[in-house]
Amino acid sequence: MIREKVSEAREALLHEFDDERSHHQKMMSDYARLQQRFENLQGDMQLLRSPAPDSLPIGHQQSLSVNDADSVISEMSDAGGDSFSLDGTQTVRHVSFY
């Protein structure tokens, strides 16, 4: 009887641990994807601050939509990030896992 209860509790803990691990892995992959998008947007912002696009050689001209930045901000908000900025002075201070 005690062994059964211990075995049930062990199984429940293992199941909970697996759930927590998969949730954590998803959060880490989401964070890595958002971090990559943030770095890409920083590069785009740097391009916008550089010489006028018509002075760049053809093939080096890129367009950046404000919607791209809004999309990252929205995703960071959805992921639970408290704050960040596009100029790199402040990064995500807190990501909640629940």
Q: What is the pLDDT of residue 94?
A: 45
More confidently predicted of 89 and 52: 52
Res. 90 pLDDT band, cuts 50 70 90:
very low
pLDDT higher than 80, residue 44: yes
pTM of the model: 0.47
pLDDT higher than 60, residue 85: no
Q: What is the pLDDT of residue 16?
A: 98
For residues 64 and 75, give the distance between their C-alpha atoms in angstroms, rounded to a whole number: 18
Res. 73 pLDDT band, cuts 50 70 90:
low
pLDDT higher than 70, residue 92: no
Res. 62 pLDDT band, cuts 50 70 90:
low
| Residue 5 near residue 51, CB atoms below 8 Å | no
SS3 53: helix
